[in-house]
Structure 1
Amino acid sequence: MSAYQVRLTIAASEDLERLYTFIVNRDDADVGLAERALAAIAAGFSTLETSPFTCRKVSRSPFLRELIIPFGASGYVALFEIEGGDMVTILAVRHQREDDYH
């Protein structure tokens, strides 16, 4: 089994900050909920270290995929690219109820 290194683009890091801020602002500064959401996302990212090809394809390219991350009644979606045999790059993260990536 290959081990993949997982990294985030600047845009994906900004997405995580945006999602965190949204929860805090929406739920009366519920920092605990925001922290649990980020922990769920991080746990999802960790699955990419061993099995990124199990996620659904986004296009005809077998290397551009989406990871579904359950959380509460819905969850999050991470767009990522498999680069070579040892690197996964998270390109963007969004809530499942958002229309598209930012």
Structure 2
Amino acid sequence: MFLMAVLPQFVDREAGGVVAQMLALGLAGALLQLTSDSTWGLTASAARTRLGRSPRRLTHLTRAGGATMIGLGITAAPPVDRISSRLRGRTSPRGGLPSRRRSSAGRRTR
């Protein structure tokens, strides 16, 4: 889908052979992606083999990876004050402005 949106920008209609140009650009992109993904896969496999020889080192790497995931989760979490105010009903479900409710007397309250 992405290539169908991007490739037409690089096709020269005046040169002719629009279909051939699209196929050539698509094939070049696919080969680059295959080369890149294969390189990353082989590099990761070699690193895992080399680093995984020692059980102690593997334990340390596993713990470091877990700590990294926890740290990223904490970083991506919303601030605590937004969570607590939302639980108390002070903001609308979409965030932003406070929600307005009517009191029993019919007046708007915050």
Q: Same fold (TM over 0.5)?
A: no
Higher helix share: 2
Structure (1 or 2) with the larger CA radius of gyration: 2
Higher relative contact order (CA 8 A, sep 6+): 1
Higher strand share: 1
TM-score, normalization by structure 1: 0.30
TM-score, normalization by structure 2: 0.28
